[in-house]
Structure 1
Amino acid sequence: MVSITDVAKKAGCSATLVSRVVNNQYGVSEKSRQKIQAAIDELGYTPNGLARSLVLKTTNTIGVVVDTLCDAYFFDLIQAIEEEVGKLGYDVLFCSAGNSTEKKSSYINFFMQERVDGILIYGSALDDKKLITKLARSHFPFALIENDMGSLNVNNILLNNQYGSEVAVDYLFQCGCRNIAHVAGDENRQAARRRQKGYLSAMKKHGASNIMILQSGWSEEEGYNTLKEFLSTCRKADLPDAFFFSSDQTAYGGMRALLEAGIRIPDDVMLIGFDDDQPRNHNFSYVPLTTVRQPLSDMGKAAVDILISDIKEKKEIKEKKMFYPNLVIRQTTRKEN
């Protein structure tokens, strides 16, 4: 393996001078720079990234911690982060925490050991609050996507989940629905709680007193089991006009249970989900789902821009940016003629 000493010998100069050329620093004449560059090209020398970061006091790398790298739902976010980081001259390292606060903490500690210049963290788990508060005290640059830390001075890229739920329920009322049930998501997720809050707010606005909340999770299987259990005790004549699900995955599970029970969608009952996600079960014929779409690409790009700006400028007051989801109308809802 070619070393910096080999390049110095070939160019007839000191290793310090070669280091300055490699790191694009001042103190080298143009003639010497060209001679050293020629030696680098001839020998095929590749700088040691770790050594270079020690010299420059920067890694030009961003660390990203998400719940999973295998879920297609995150692909738009991941791609947007990767593209924006590249445009700004940085590299990126992705880690999958698997919904574990312990793993998330381990990855963050790993990144903070001078391996990256800043960290992006996606998710809204309530259990992360202690971890985020500790990270904020360290003054290490980072930005949160989704997890609203309230008054804590951190970079926050947020989705207005309550607004998204209100838009969904408002549309169901426009479709003639009055008896609307909410299938709530993971109680440990701030996003699920705010979506439920939006449901309650919209129902109150429309003067609806028949509140119905079915506690579930955020997976298709949980949605299926929740609706299966509900249908076992509910006559078809007593069904709500619509179900508003806290996530699309739960909605796909609920849809399966309803269709298996012979309930027509949207003729007998209407459905709206949240996220604009795709079903994972390809062995079932789903009705195209009306949903609330998150602008994940825009959120990913904004997160990178805010974090790198903080890395460069070391801002005392951190930045918060709110995004708003939009309704995507498909075939699980239908307006009255």
Structure 2
Amino acid sequence: MIENTSFAIKIVELSDDKRYGKFECEPLERGFGITLGNSLRRVLLSSLDGVAITSIKIDGVLHEFTTIEGVREDVTDMILNLKKIRFIAHDEAVFPIQVRIDIDKEGIFHAGDMQLPSEIDVLNTDLEICTLDADAHLGMELTIDRGHGYVPFNKNKKNDEIGIIPIDSIFTPVVKCNYKVSDTRVGNEMDYDKLTLELETDGSVKVEDAVAQAATILIKYFENFRRLATKQIPEIDVDEIEPEIEEKDDSPDLSVIPIEELELSVRAFNCLKRAEINMLDQLTDKTEDELTRVRNLGKKSVDEIKEKLAAYKGWGLHLKDNDE
């Protein structure tokens, strides 16, 4: 078995808005550059959550193969433009969200002109949706939802109500992702991999958080294989699984939130990182006694961590009780 699985992750490039980043990971055992790079790339491009329009309803329009008086674009072109809108959702957002739009102003209507609830915002505000002539009116209702990857229009069709047009939805927040594997040296040996991961997001998620979320998803899947050794494999009767029925859990998933979100002092942050406490679920699973045993983490820093957890987004997070 490979004993040493540790490697360094270096941020080579990072844009000011954190939409673009390039990371170098080395040294990796031979072959793990492709294994990790390909796995991360696939998950980054297909499995991260995002927000997109899933259906539209336009006043006086029964289907997409038509035109609207006073609107220069036909409905098909408008739909293509609506698909390109990128949203960012805030923590209080509850989906799906219904948005009503009424346009009476002559000229170009941009994505940023939409009046949206406070839970969501448009990222690409300059995107042109349609152009109205003088005295034209356009009214429509949008359904905005959360999902992951790409969802075709037929899966967004919830009912047969006349006039509702389901559309393809691109939820993934990762716009581009590539990786490269090259040789690297450890001492006098060149038999190691260096993985270079490059990605760009739409701005709804920071590149570091995107990579962390992708890694967390992979870990959750691999955990099922790890249970083979302990014979703790959950037995699932696939015939009893009911599709399209989902139990919604309103509790936050702390396993995808890095400790950077707490905005800790440099000392407290570095101590946690050295102890390999990277995500909020790892932190909240520690007792106060366990934290005080972390090297160089004094009582003042522990108190700071407790305060930051309690204040974070009003979730009332806390450390694990000592008697748990």
Structure (1 or 2) with the larger CA radius of gyration: 1
Q: TM-score range by the shorter chain?
A: under 0.3
Q: Which structure shows the bigger proportion of residues in helix conformation?
A: 1
Higher relative contact order (CA 8 A, sep 6+): 2
TM-score where L is the length of structure 1: 0.22
TM-score where L is the length of structure 2: 0.22
Q: Which structure shows the bigger proportion of residues in strand conformation?
A: 2
